[in-house]
A and B are shown apart, each in its own frame.
Chain A
Amino acid sequence: MRILVVGGGTAGTIVANNLARRLSAETRSGKVRLTMLSASDRHMYQPGLLYVAFGQMTPDQLYRDQASLLEASIDFHVDPVKQFQLDQNKVVTESGKVHEYDILVIATGSRMVPEETPGLNEGAEFFYTEASAVKMYKRLREFQGGRVAVAVGVPHKCPIAPVEVMFALHDFFKARGIRDKVQLKYYYPIGRIHTIENVAIWAKPEFDRLGIEYETLFNIKEVDAKNKILKSEEGIDVEYDLLVVIPQHRGMEVIERDNLGQGGWIPTNRYSLTMNGHDNVYVVGDTTNLPVSKTGSAAHFQAEVISENIASIIKVGEPVRDYDGKVYCFIEAGHDRATYAMFNYLNPPDLKPPSKPMHWFKVAYNQMYWTSVRGLL
């Protein structure tokens, strides 16, 4: 039984490690072979990028050696997939190797694509990659005052990032003593300031209290980087001195190239997490087309379900669990306080007032993450 995991991010690593633990006897006897393919030899803790953008973490702290996180029984190769041949149950890698599988887990994730919006790369700051986060920190440090605009593209991973970045900007400029010289304005695509209703209800008075302005129903169309004007589909022009954007995302190129899913989002069953039309292919994390938050926590909970099901299929022939849509997201609310949003397909999130202990839980989780991708938490 050959199990192939494609993608070494949060979802892929948890699936592989969980399977290695659950199927330790089978891997030892050779009944099951576990292989992982990744584009990188390093594993990045993506939530840390927001800290890097504000100078609270250095880039090296974002990474660990991927091999060091994996169980010994996993055959790991830094050799990304070049082509998926699902009808033949095999993949071809960049190096030309062919990997045949009995069960495939696609965990290739998502990436920001600011280049799809005219002028965005030239005019805006981002924090969704190491390079852009470092660049943003430098711009924030040298910024002396003026209009800061924060705008959001659709879809994007980490739905809570827009709100968190506003609080972080407020705290940052306040600490620098120039908050009164900075106008902070937030632009969001739908008719309220956040897609999660309870977050919008909670955040609005917070924004008011901190002097953060906001405008809703604002969908980014293009940026005139030379004149520093952000333009919306609704016909609004916004002049800015510093523009921070959470850009729209796509799945990985290979997913689109091989026609696995439009936009790189693979059609997936929302309960079994199998790919539509392919019962031996599981899809997990950002690359699904599920109307579920693209977050590490969703990836984690989905990965748990998938690894439990694959293991039980191997041991008893049947899956045992469904994914219930569970997501759990920390929300850093500024001033060393945090809250969280937890929800699933049936229960909406119910926000508690932010507290210091919750902030420390998030700080502790920044370390606990490494233990959780090992399959220990």
Chain B
Amino acid sequence: MSETKIIDARDTFCPGPLMELIMYMKQAKVGDELELLSTDKGSAADIPEWIKKVGHDMVSIEKIEETWHLKVRKAK
């Protein structure tokens, strides 16, 4: 079981949390889990949207204090 990779995209506007996730997903292997940290509230909507469209797994979304924690799994 591989470790969850944590991507800290808090307080960033460009490239932004979703772009960072896309980049790390490319580097990941199928089955890897990634956890993205974001302070951008739009991420809570646009990341699940992207995950669904491309065909990966949305594991969980949690908001802890001011940060969203989005866990995803590379499915293909």
Contacts and interface: CB of A to CB of B under 8 A. Distances in A.
Interface string A329-343: 000000000000101
Contacts of A346: 11
Nearest to B19: A195
Given A155-B19, A248-B26, A190 B14 contact: no
Contacts of A343: 13-14
Contacts of B17: 291
Contact of A263 (B11, B22, B27): B27
Interface in B17-76: 17-20, 22-23, 26-27, 42, 46, 49-50, 53-55
Interface of A: 154-155, 159, 189-192, 195-197, 217, 219, 233-234, 248, 262-263, 291-293, 325, 327, 341, 343, 345-346, 348-349
A348 B55 CA distance: 31
Interface residues of B, number: 24
Specify the main secondary structure of chain A where it touches its partner. Answer: loop
B14 A327 contact: yes
Contacts of B55: 233
B22 to A, nearest CB: 5
Interface of B: 7-9, 11-20, 22-23, 26-27, 42, 46, 49-50, 53-55
Contact of A195 (B11, B16, B49, B54): B16
Contacts of A234: 53-54
A348 B26 CA distance: 27
A179 B17 CA distance: 36
B27 A189 contact: no
Q: Give 9 closest A-B pairs by Cβ, nearest first.
A: A291-B12, A345-B11, A195-B16, A293-B14, A154-B22, A191-B46, A155-B23, A291-B9, A190-B18
Contacts of A293: 14-15
Contact of B22 (A159, A189, A192, A327): A189
A174 B19 CA distance: 32
Contacts of A192: 46
Nearest to A294: B15
Contacts of B13: 196-197, 343, 348-349
A197 B12 CA distance: 12
B50 A154 contact: no
Nearest to A291: B12
